[in-house]
Amino acid sequence: MKQGIFFALFAAFLWGLAPILEKIGLAKLSPLAGLTVRSIGITLVILILNFFKPTWKELGEVDFKSIIFILLGGLIAGLIAQWIYYRALKYIEASRVAPIVGSYPFFAFILGILILGEKVTWNKILGSIFILIGILLLK
């Protein structure tokens, strides 16, 4: 449990640091050029990681449906949303962009209900209201 909380907080810290670094990096780059640099870097690191801890066998056993949905998620979040996020960083402060982009759990809540038939709970409703209030406070 403690290890999970540590990893979650560390990931949150890194996600908080990333917009600052990306805002600086995008000063002289277009959003698409920035996304290209980012993607090349990620690809190289993933290839190196797979050299030390190969996942090729696991990937060879994945069903087609899983591959399609992971690819769609990657295209939507890793390409399109990231590109739009970089465009936002070009226009407004990173300290405003990051929390607005971080409101994605609100959309996951709505889409989870509509597409996956997930349960609506008072905690989820309350959390969604807090997310919307947070965005309104950033105006």
Domain locations along the chain: 2-94, 103-139
pLDDT of residue 27: 96
Longest alpha-carbon distance in the chain: 49
Mean pLDDT of all residues belonging to the chain: 94
- Summarize pLDDT for 79-132 with one digit per residue, the tens: 999 999 999 999 999 999 999 999 999 999 999 999 999 999 999 999 999 999
pTM of the model: 0.86
pLDDT of residue 53: 87
